[in-house]
A = this chain, B = another copy of it.
Amino acid sequence: MAIILGDHQYGKAENRVVRIYRDAKRHEIRDLNVSTALRGPFDPAYLSGDQTNVLPTDTQKNTAFAFAKSKGVESIEDFGLDLARHFVHDVAPVEGARIEVEEYAWERAVVDGVEHDHTWLRKGQEIRTAAVTVDATGEHVIGGFKNLVLLKSTGSEFAGFLSDEYTTLQETHDRVMATSLVAQWRFTSVEVDWEKIYAGIKQIMVREFATLQSLALQQTLWHMGRSVLEAYPFVAEVRLKAPNKHHFAVDLSPFELENPGEVFIAADRPYGLIEATVLRDDAPDAGDAWRISAGLA
Which A residues are closer than 8 A to B by beta carbons? 1-22, 27, 29, 31, 35, 37, 42, 45-59, 61-63, 65-66, 68-70, 90-91, 93, 106, 109-112, 116, 118-126, 147-155, 158-169, 176, 203, 206-207, 209-211, 214-216, 218-219, 221-222, 225-226, 229-230, 237, 243-244, 247, 250, 252, 254-255, 257-282, 293-294
Max chain B C-beta neighbours (<10 A), residue from A10, A63, A230: A10
Interface centre among A47, A167, A211, A260 (most CB of B within 10 A): A167
Measured between C-beta atoms, what is the minimum distance from A37 to chain B in Å? 7
Q: Which residue of B lies closest to A4 (CB)?
A: B281
Q: How far is the CA of A222 from the CA of B5 in the complex (A)?
A: 7
B219 lies within 8 A of A46 (CB): yes
Partner of A269, one of B116, B147, B268: B268
Copy tally for this chain in the complex stands at 4
* Given A10-B275, A16-B269, A49-B218, 5 other A-B residues pairs in contact with their CB atoms under 8 A: A4-B279, A8-B277, A22-B261, A37-B273, A52-B160
- With A8-B276, A167-B62, A276-B5 known as contacts, the answer to whether A264 contacts B18 (CB < 8 A) is yes
Q: A119-B209, A120-B150, A122-B151 are in contact. Are A280 and B3 (CB under 8 A)?
A: yes
Flag if B215 contacts A164 (CB, 8 Å): no
Query: Is B12 touching A66 in the complex (CB atoms < 8 A)?
Result: no
A56 to chain B: which residues have CB within 8 Å? 158, 161-162, 167, 169
Q: Is the CB of B122 within 8 A of A154?
A: no
Q: In the complex, how many angstroms separate the beta carbon of A288 from the nearest chain B beta carbon?
A: 13
Specify which chain B residues have a CB less than 8 angstroms from the CB of A260 in the assembled complex.
22
* Alpha-carbon distance between A296 and B6 when the two chains are bound, in angstroms: 23
